[in-house]
Structures are given as C-alpha cells and as structure tokens.
C-alpha cells in the first residue's frame, strides 16, 4: 500500500475543514433565524404574557418586579406623556417609582382583583349573548 503524500493529506484536511465549515454555517443560520423570530415584537409580547400568566413567575420576585415596572412605566406615559420639561420628567419618574413600588407590594391583591374583574366581565358578556 502506498503512503499518502503530504499534498494528499493536506487536500483531505482542507476538504474536512470545508465540510465542517459548511455544517457550522448551517447551524449558525438556523440560530440566527431562531433569534430573529424570538426578537420580533409579537413574539416578545407573547413571551411576556406567558411569563406573567405563569403562576410561579408571578409569585416570584422577578415576576412581581417586571409587572411593577411595566405598570409604573405605562401609567407614567398615560398620566405625564412625553415632555422636554425637566420638572415634568422628574415628576413622572417619581410617579413611576411610587406606582412600581405599590404594584410590587400589592401584586397579590391586584392579581385577585383582576381575576375577579375578568370573571365578571366574561359573565356579563355571556349573559348579553344569551339575551
């Protein structure tokens, strides 16, 4: 049997490396596609909703904090809007902090109240459909 020459070994190694590169490129493209899909706004909203509705997350500190920050931010935007006035910005930030803290501290009461409101609204809608 003839021993492989250095050129043959080098050619084989190059082919193996090109094959490895091609496989890794396919995996990378799949990862980019998956990342792009997960970062679409609708998918971000879906993942946030899943996180909020998952009872273990809501009961945990991270879920409460995220819910509190989101509530504080939304209410700040509703009450104060966008402004270039530094005093209005400071008042908005203070308001947001107060709402966030209150939401985190009372998240269980808010959760129970929200569930009750949704149940009543559902019952009202169903009763109007039946009439």
The model's pLDDT over 43-61, given as tens digits with 9 standing for 90+, comes to 777 777 676 666 554 556 6
Whole-angstrom Cα distance, residue 61 to residue 104? 8
Nearest to 67 by CA among 100, 95, 21: 100
Task: Give me the pLDDT at residue 1, please.
Answer: 56
Q: What does pTM read for this prediction? A: 0.42
Task: Give me the pLDDT at residue 24, please.
Answer: 96
Task: Give me the pLDDT at residue 127, please.
Answer: 83
Task: Give me the pLDDT at residue 117, please.
Answer: 83
* Cβ–Cβ under 8 Å, residues 99 and 76: yes
Whole-angstrom Cα distance, residue 10 to residue 18? 12
Whole-angstrom Cα distance, residue 93 to residue 73? 9
Q: For residue 11, what pLDDT band results from cuts at 50, 70 and 90?
A: very high
| Three-state secondary structure call for residue 88 | helix
Mean pLDDT of the chain: 82
Nearest to 59 by CA among 22, 115, 108: 108
Nearest to 111 by CA among 43, 55, 66: 55
């Amino acid at each position: 049997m003839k021993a492989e020459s250095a050129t043959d070994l080098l050619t084989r190694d190059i082919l193996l490396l090109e094959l490895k590169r091609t496989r890794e490129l396919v995996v990378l493209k799949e990862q980019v596609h998956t990342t792009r899909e997960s970062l679409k706004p609708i998918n971000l909203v879906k993942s946030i909703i899943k996180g909020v509705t998952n009872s273990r997350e809501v009961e945990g500190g991270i879920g409460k904090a995220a819910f509190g920050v989101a509530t504080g931010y939304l209410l700040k935007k509703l009450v104060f809007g966008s402004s270039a006035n530094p005093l209005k910005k400071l008042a908005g930030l203070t308001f947001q902090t107060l709402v966030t803290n209150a939401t985190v501290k009372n998240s269980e009461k808010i959760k129970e109240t929200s569930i009750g409101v949704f149940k009543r609204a559902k019952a009202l809608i169903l009763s109007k459909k039946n009439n």
